[in-house]
Structure formats: C-alpha cells, structure tokens
Amino acid sequence: MISHAQFSSEPWGAAPGGDPVQLFTLRNAHGMKVSISDLGATLVSWHAPDRAGRLGDILLGHDTPAEYLASTTYMGGLIGRWANRIAGARFTLDGIEYTLDRNEGDNLLHGGSAGFNRLPWEAEEDNGSLVLRLESPEGDAGFPGHVTVQVRYTLDDDGALTIAYEAITDAPTPLNLTSHAYFNLSGEATGDVRGHVVSIDAEAYFEVDAGMIPTRRAEVAGNAFDFRQSAPLGARLDWPNAQLALASGFDHCYVLPELAAAAAAASRPQPVREVARVYEPGSGRELSVRTDQWGLQFYTGNHLEGEKGRGGHTYSKYAGLCLEAGGFPNQINMANPAQVILRPGEEYRQVTQYRVGVRTGV
C-alpha cells in the first residue's frame, strides 16, 4: 500500500557525552505511529490499535538515550556490522585472518562493544520516509573496509513498517545487518509473551553450543522448534528440550528454506515473502514478518529479567520477542560465506517488513 505517512521530529535529550539526540515519528492515516531515534537508528516505540481501536505500544524500550547506551539488550537497535555472533571473534577472508572485538566471552556479538546500535546516524526525511546514514571506517571492531550504510524506514497505511538496508564498501568485508526490535503485541508495559501464538515457515534451525554458536542444522519436526503450524509460545517454552534449557528459551536461527536455496544459488537475497506470524489473542493484534533474507533469529527475551523499561517499569523474562532477519550466525566461518561478503562494486541490499494488523475474532 502507498505510504501517506506524516513525519515529525523533536529533540530527545542527549547522549552522555552531550551530543544531542533526535526522535523522529512516522504516522499513517489510521493513527498508527512509529518513533525512531538517530542514536543507533533505534526503533523506540510503535503505537498500534487493538481490535477495539485503542492504541498501545507494542515495542519494549527505554525512556532516555542514556538508558539505551547503558543497556546490554540491544533494545530496538540497528545491528551491524555483524548481527548475532562470530565464533572466536575471528574469520579468514581472501587468505587474511582478521581478529575482531571480543565483547561476549571469546565471541563478537552484534557488531562489538561499539556496534551500530550505539552510534549517531545522520537522518533526513525523504518523501515521508526516514533515511539514516552511517560511515563505518576501516578497522571498525576489527573489520576490513570502509563501509557506507543507509537504512530507510517507511510506514504505510496498511500498518507495514518496511526497513530497507543498503551498503557499499571499498574493500571486501563481511556484512550482516538486522533490527533488534522486541515485540509484545499486548501493548502493555508489564507481562510477557507466553500467551502469544507463533508461526514460522521453516523446516530447520541451527542447534547451538554453550556459547550460542551454531553447531549443526536440525529438523524442527517432532520437537519444540516446530512452528510450521501456529502454536502458543508458553507451552513450547515449557517443553523439556536440551536446546531450550541451554539458551533459557528460544535464541536460535531458523533456516528459511526457499530463501536460503535462492540466496545460495544467486549469492544475493530474493524478493520478500512472509516467513512468520505472531498473534496476541487478548488484543487481537497480529504481526506479519516478510523478508528477502535466508535466516530468522527467534529470541524470546530470555535475559530481560530486571531490565529497566519505559515509565519506571521493570521487564520480566520473556517480556518481548525478537524476529531478526539476516544471514546465519557465524556464517562467515560456515558453509556459503560468499553470501555474507560484500565486495567493492557490489551493493548490499536487504528488505524486511513488519506489518501489524488486528483479527476481529477471538
């Protein structure tokens, strides 16, 4: 659907060093509004109507820029240069071994200790969309190449927020971008997502080791990871399963079959298609996820217990869930690393769309 979004901006305090931070808001024709900060290109809030037309914020978040920078949850942030983990914080590219920022044990997580979610982005309006740009210099977190990144947020009148990523480089480098938004479709500041009903169109996922590094591809059939048919999340979290126990919930990458096969053949993403749905029966809100990527990290907020949230609230375990589209964790050290290597003269492109609507029935 064509976007007729209204656009506004306002000061949103300052980072601890004193740099001003802005908050930008996109509104559609039906009163839905999404707010995004130029600090970390962060999705701060998303007010969406329930089945009775009442607006509620379906994203977890913090009150101030300082709280975002103090948090280790990556709440709503734009993640780069590398989403998820790289084992041993090292990789080899074109015969050269690179050592990266170790910010989670021996691994690199979400771009390192100064990842994209912690940096100021340049922002401007473009035909009702918000466009943010960032320069990532050679050696950033140990990665080669100077990378220029652009992300465009567009809200349409059908309730879809489209996130379109682009990037170029002057030297070969791994690149894997995603959005780390935490959803709770109830629109309440308290509670958890155990009552949400989830479907994920995938026949396989990656099992992980104690460091949350993928070890092998496993079939979902016959176990707690099978969301090919919609299932209540809480019941699945309670299943006895060694992988769930290891991660304290879901924190695993699903293999999106058609997209993975197409990307492997073409070394680049394909047209977007729906890969997941989440429904919250109490509010009637339903989230659809569409992407052109081949991996979908499903995370159930396993480590949110005690995290300070908006309005003085404290989040609980499973307070929100993430559906992060991108390449596979540690893919640069796995099969098909060419899929996640950006080279000079090429352009990284990724599109992920989150659409929120309502079901009128129970």
Active-site positions?
A: 180, 324
Strand (E) or helix (H) holding 260: helix 257-266
Q: Which two tokens stand for residue 310?
A: 């908006």
Task: Please state the φ and ψ torsions of residue 211, each to the nearest 5 degrees.
Answer: -90, 10
Q: What CA–CA distance (Å, rounded) separates 18 from 120?
A: 12
Q: What CA–CA distance (Å, rounded) separates 253 from 242?
A: 16
> CB neighbours of 334 closer than 8 A, spacing ≥ 6?
214, 328
Whether the CB-CB separation of 22 and 10 falls below 8 Å is answered with: yes
Q: What CA–CA distance (Å, rounded) separates 27 from 123?
A: 17
Sign of CA dihedral 174, 276, 196, 158: positive
Q: What CA–CA distance (Å, rounded) separates 165 from 109?
A: 20
